[in-house]
Amino acid sequence: MRPDKTPDWVARLGAECCDATPAEWSRWSAFVATYCVTFDAVNPRRNKQEWIDHWPDEYGKVILRPRAAVERSVPEIEVVEAFREAGWAARWTDNFHTAPGWMRPWTQVDNVTRVVTDRLNAIRAEAPKSKSWDVIAWRDDVVMFVECKAEAEQFTDSELAFIWGAQRAGIPLEHFAVVRAAINYPERRSE
């Protein structure tokens, strides 16, 4: 599924339309519009111990050189910023609710509309064990759900349950997108 034109938020993100991502769950399947983008990491690729050591501040995320006027970023923040620059309200869902303090301005939003809560409640009614996608954006009566994935990363069962529940609740597939991020890592300096 390729959109006829590039959505405004995708243009602001600097992403391009790429092959749709298959979503297959039980006997249900669909293809989700997918946009590919390349980000530059601040740090060289982390080894397992470095991930553990930096977890409290980095939340298991690759820290990016930000495009927006912020000190540091992660792919979900970049997507939220792209939506906001395009005139949408948006937030990163942070399903675990444990993001470090510096990430919270993108996870907490005061102006969530009734349309957003109604859509989320409808999805949860159809798929109670589902996990909301990474970014929720809304403008007028349109609510978009975006999942950020690494280049070869697949959907989890709970993410598939979410889109399946949304389809059962009558939410159009066009209101879903995947952002596939390639990461350029700087060379590790020898010590």
List, for residues 51-65, the tens digit of each pLDDT value.
899 988 888 899 998
CB 58 within 8 A of CB 106: no
How far apart, in whole angstroms, are the C-alpha atoms of residue 175 and residue 80? 15
User: Contact, 68 vs 78, CB < 8 A?
Assistant: yes
Let me know the angle formed at the C-alpha of 176 by 156 and 63, rounded to the nearest 5 degrees. 65
pLDDT at 26 over 80: no
17 or 190, higher pLDDT: 17
Look at residue 3 in the predicted model and tell me its pLDDT: 59
pLDDT confidence of residue 118:
95
The phi, psi pair for 65, rounded to 5°, reads -70, 120
Mean pLDDT within 62-86? 88
Q: Does pTM top 0.85 for this prediction? A: yes
Structure confidence at residue 168 (pLDDT): 95
Residue type at position 32 = V
**45, two tokens:** 């690729």
Q: How is the chain split into domains, by residue range? A: 8-184
Q: What is the pLDDT of residue 5?
A: 81
Residue linked to tokens 């977890």? 55
